[in-house]
Structure 1
Amino acid sequence: MRLLLIFCLLLTTAAQAACPPNPERSARHTELMALLADAPNETVAREYSNELWNIWGTAPDTTAQEILQRGMERRQAFDLRGALEDFNTLIDYCPGYAEGYNQRAFINFIGRDYEIALEDLDRALAITPDHIGALTGRALALIQLGRDREGQLVLREALKLNPWLPERNRVTPLPPVPQETVPEVEL
């Protein structure tokens, strides 16, 4: 048993070392972000957004791509446990790849584990700050947790990047800033 544990640890370490670094942001990615922000209608925005999803969904190597694809197929088949296992494997293999965290967050969101989803969304956004899917997911998770003001602010941030997001209908007036109660002091 101990040898098996050591073997698994060595395999995990070797797998992490084998994942290549993320490629630099492409000129097309930058161009798409600008085009999307100024898209004249929802149809055009969807075309740009789909191309961005293709960029975000392109893993650093073939192994990572296969793990990502299998996890997404499992999610679509409602095998959420299997999908979660795949996304955990992907993150272990390529901890610098934002889409692994974003996809795992989506599984946790579906399972209503919003706090865990937020942790992964924050990791995805630390790697790819303009990941519109992660921003939108973060906004929705915050709202589900009753953190409406914070969620609405994040949703507005996502809408600056893509004003045609389907979630645009979730924008509500900003709740007031909570007032801190100041204890009264007797003089």
Structure 2
Amino acid sequence: MRILFAFLAALFLFGSASLPAQADDPVAPPVATTREARLDQLFADLKRERNEKAAERIAARISNEWAQSGSASIDLMMQWSQKAIEDQKFDVALDFLDQVVTLQPAFAEGWNRRATAHFMMKNFGKSMSDIDRTLQLEPRHFGALSGLAQIMAVTGHKESALEAWQRVLGIYPMLRSAQGQVGTLSEELAGEGI
């Protein structure tokens, strides 16, 4: 249950948060010109940041970038799917998300959101497949990696879960839930080795 709660918390933190940088903010990094350049800068900032709240703001900005599909129709279907997931209408969410990944197969967040819906339905194999596609499109997707870690833990693959959480920390070092999971799994695996 703790794992499911952590996954849901990560989903809502990374899936729906958006905090745009203020142009007149002297602390905000300079605005990059392309989406990839903005993401690269944000990931560099996220890796360096040692303040948990500031790291959360950077992660939210990354999530906001990921959520931009470039298509009003896709964005609307993503909103509808999020509402369906929140209402636990997973079949409805999957109908929208199937359309999203069909219409825009290079949109990583569509695959990630569909992986989340499958996870909520305990369709771990389908969720893993969508996580794999998400990570092919965006290898730094800490939300997808967190989902992978959750599935590995739920299915009893502790070493793989630990590896996935460590990958998350390599991208987002200040993510407290990942830090806690690494500590817990490390202790459990050390105890099993005795």
Same topology, TM > 0.5: yes
Q: TM-score, normalised by structure 1?
A: 0.77
Match of 1:169 among 180, 183, 190: 180
With CA pairs under 8 Å and 6+ residues apart, which has the higher RCO, 1 or 2? 2
Question: What corresponds to 2:144 in structure 1?
Answer: 134
Deviation at 1:80, TM superposition (A): 1.5
Question: What corresponds to 2:158 in structure 1?
Answer: 148
Give, in whole Å, the separation in 2 of the partners of 1:70 and 1:109: 18
| Mapping 1:64-83, distance limit 5 Å | 64-83=74-93
**Paired residues of 2:85 and 2:117 also in contact (CA < 8 A):** yes
Greater Rg over alpha carbons, structure: 1
**Paired residues of 1:114 and 1:144 also in contact (CA < 8 A):** no
Compute the RMSD of aligned alpha carbons: 1.6
More helix by share: 2
CA deviations over 1:10-50 (Å, ceiling 9, x no partner): xxxxxxxxxxxxxx743221111011111122100110010
1:45 match: secondary structure: helix
Percent of aligned pairs with the same amino acid: 25
Give, in whole Å, the separation in 1 of the partners of 2:88 and 2:178: 23
**Paired residues of 1:101 and 1:120 also in contact (CA < 8 A):** yes
| Mapping 1:65-104, distance limit 5 Å | 65-104=75-114
Give, in whole Å, the separation in 1 of the partners of 2:126 and 2:153: 14
- Structure 1: 5+ residue stretches without partners: 1-23, 177-187
**Paired residues of 2:94 and 2:114 also in contact (CA < 8 A):** yes
2:174 match: secondary structure: coil
**Paired residues of 2:35 and 2:65 also in contact (CA < 8 A):** no
Residue 43 in structure 1 maps to residue 56 in structure 2: no
**Paired residues of 2:168 and 2:178 also in contact (CA < 8 A):** no
Runs of 4+ in 1 over 3 A off after TM superposition: none
Give, in whole Å, the separation in 1 of the partners of 2:162 and 2:36: 30
- Structure 2: 5+ residue stretches without partners: 1-33
Q: Which amino acid aligns with 1:26?
A: E
**Paired residues of 2:81 and 2:96 also in contact (CA < 8 A):** yes
Give the aligned length: 153
**Paired residues of 1:114 and 1:142 also in contact (CA < 8 A):** no
